[in-house]
Structure 1
């Protein structure tokens, strides 16, 4: 899943707070639509967001133009070499070329002058005008501006915690792992029982292993493998990864060698040996019978194993659902279906100490998430939506994983956009106040503290005992 934002900024400011009464009229069969309009109140200036509704192909918009309702204005021309990727967005500011008024319109035309889409309104919106549902719906006033993101009001009535789901004060930083990690498309992450991290790249269909040095608090690449289907062909669009004793499970949306065709599947690979090579799937579970027909880029986005339930949780991008599946046999069995309040499920992470499954969206929902627990029969949630972690911007974090060590909890994020220069972001938190348990220093410190406590108790008790004997008739 990729939510890329292209941005063309000009400059301006405007103010007003009237209610909008929008109307929209499609003029073309192009997959590109006007998706959101800010005509008032943005600190930079008025802007228009375009969206590519084609979920498998990019659209070149070089030379296309935007104009407001005043025909005397000079249209804004989109630069050569500009495209909107599949399912992506493009935002441009209209000022100082022209501002958008309280009663105005926006018209998008292609390079030949053919009208692609237009929207008009009679008053400024308190927030923005946007298509609800995103990309496909009619224009309405949105709950809040979502520049370069999905227009989504599904979570508007849910309580949102102000405390982020990761501990406050974390330093979240890009991980320097070399040239292989500086590009886009890292999408899934998980830790195995030993603390080794596993990440997947959905563009190249590669699996990477990362080892961690506790002394230096750094990651290094321990190996990478190219994934294929069972017959040794194809490039699985590897979106999510979960590691168990039975192997490595990868959630996939399609075969990247045939990008226009949906193939929502879970692939299992045997745990690899060596440090590189080719891996063919040992098993495949196609999920179409549970998902129905999906867009080619809207299938299985995330996966996680929940041991107390013995089930895999699989997040579906285009529906925002979580499927809880038994994958013990040749055929997947659906144990439960959960419709999340999010526009998409981008990552899933299980925490053993709390027995909680985190269901998270990415930049499409401002990084929000919620927790689910297994009550012995089914997965349940109280519906509370948590904010994204402090210390991280609204990035395309399509993977999230945590590992609880003896005295340190580690966190990894896979950023599909590699916005900070790396597709992998990391943070850690010390969970022991003193020297980590298991070290000789920590052991002897504990013994000394024990005897010191006994000594302090005796020193406070002896004077009272002496006074008691002095006053005794014995």
Structure 2
């Protein structure tokens, strides 16, 4: 474990090339691990080259940072400041905020005691609820606080208090407040055991029974500062957690993670820091997630500050819809869609 330290708070998302300090973090966090294999050379995006604007002008503004499909027609999105959760529904070729149950302007998010403004960067819909990855409390913006928060979304109120809270500060490298947990995804136990995923904590094949009350899968979070992905079993009845694996995303920074059930890929996405590229990670013969491919962004999309990335769960006419969320709201739009070839 690395000690917590204060960093300089920056409201904007200024991306820079990986520096020696980031390399030092990676070494400190993974000294016990063998050097990762070289990331494969980037190839063309495995889908359509064109992208389309997928929201009306000015709906979200800046800071829309993460997206996750619940179904082909329902999409969850988070804004990191002020912390807001959106339930989006499909409207033709675009996505708009749901107008039912108080979702028309999104809902503000808070910690479990009703306090704070969690800087929500990533979101994932799971059987256990909607989970977000956060970098800090915006009300104390100079202090890093990497955490995972769970929210129940069935009510009609305008604000949400977390129903679960896992503060991972003590288990992660010490980072600046704006370099923390950008990404989150969820992988079901059934997929992990089928692929003989190895548990680095027990040093044996992953056995879900080793983690009572963890739900039905593991949570994978991405740290912006070093591009590492950390897999956790989260005790759903409290704030306890166990780190199960540490994984190299193939990038110096990671902005979103997406599990694709049909292929078994865990996708890692990097923003304009890495020219909008993605990698796929799969469980190898040693039971560890490793990078298997790297892709350029679609050629028809500019190098936006895309911090969110989601893949539709269904295939239609040989393709799946993909959604990117642009934290900078370039040209007054935060959502864009493209296609990915079905496999």
Q: What TM-score comes out, normalization by structure 1 length?
A: 0.56
Native 8 Å contact 2:222 2:254 kept in 1: yes
Q: 2:136 aligns with which of 254, 257, 267?
A: 254
Q: 1:321 to 1:411 in 2, by over 3 A?
A: same
The runs of 5 or more residues in structure 1 that have no matched partner are 1-53, 59-84, 90-129, 138-153, 432-474
> In 1, distance between residues paired with 2:286 and 2:38?
27
Q: 1:363 to 1:316 in 2, by over 3 A?
A: same
Per the TM alignment, residue 356 of structure 1 is displaced from its structure 2 partner at its CA by: 0.6
Native 8 Å contact 1:196 1:210 kept in 2: yes
> In 2, distance between residues paired with 1:365 and 1:413?
15
Partner of 2:183: 302
> In 2, distance between residues paired with 1:410 and 1:131?
31
Per the TM alignment, residue 342 of structure 1 is displaced from its structure 2 partner at its CA by: 1.4
Partner of 1:225: 107
Partner of 2:201: none
- Report 1:288-367 matches (<5 A): 288-307=169-188, 308-309=191-192, 310-329=217-236, 330=238, 331-367=240-276
Q: 1:180 aligns with which of 59, 63, 67?
A: 59
Partner of 2:47: 167
Per the TM alignment, residue 350 of structure 1 is displaced from its structure 2 partner at its CA by: 1.2
> In 2, distance between residues paired with 1:239 and 1:328?
22
Native 8 Å contact 1:160 1:387 kept in 2: no
> In 2, distance between residues paired with 1:417 and 1:156?
33
SS of 1:311's equivalent in the other structure is strand
Q: 1:135 to 1:428 in 2, by over 3 A?
A: closer
Native 8 Å contact 1:301 1:346 kept in 2: yes
Per the TM alignment, residue 248 of structure 1 is displaced from its structure 2 partner at its CA by: 0.5
Q: 1:381 aligns with which of 290, 295, 304?
A: 290
Q: 1:415 aligns with which of 323, 326, 337?
A: 326
Rg larger in 1 or in 2? 1
Partner of 1:205: 83
The runs of 5 or more residues in structure 2 that have no matched partner are 1-6, 25-34, 193-216
Q: What TM-score comes out, normalization by structure 2 length?
A: 0.76
Native 8 Å contact 1:267 1:285 kept in 2: yes
Native 8 Å contact 2:282 2:291 kept in 1: no
Pick 1 or 2: higher relative contact order, CA cutoff 8 A, min separation 6: 2
Matched, 1:238 2:116: no
Cα offsets for 1:432-452 (capped at 9, x unmatched): xxxxxxxxxxxxxxxxxxxxx
Native 8 Å contact 1:372 1:379 kept in 2: no
SS of 2:136's equivalent in the other structure is strand
Partner of 1:56: 9
Partner of 2:199: none
Native 8 Å contact 1:191 1:402 kept in 2: yes
> In 2, distance between residues paired with 1:136 and 1:311?
27
> In 1, distance between residues paired with 2:14 and 2:58?
27
Q: 1:226 to 1:402 in 2, by over 3 A?
A: same
Per the TM alignment, residue 187 of structure 1 is displaced from its structure 2 partner at its CA by: 0.5
Q: 1:186 to 1:296 in 2, by over 3 A?
A: same
> In 1, distance between residues paired with 2:258 and 2:234?
18
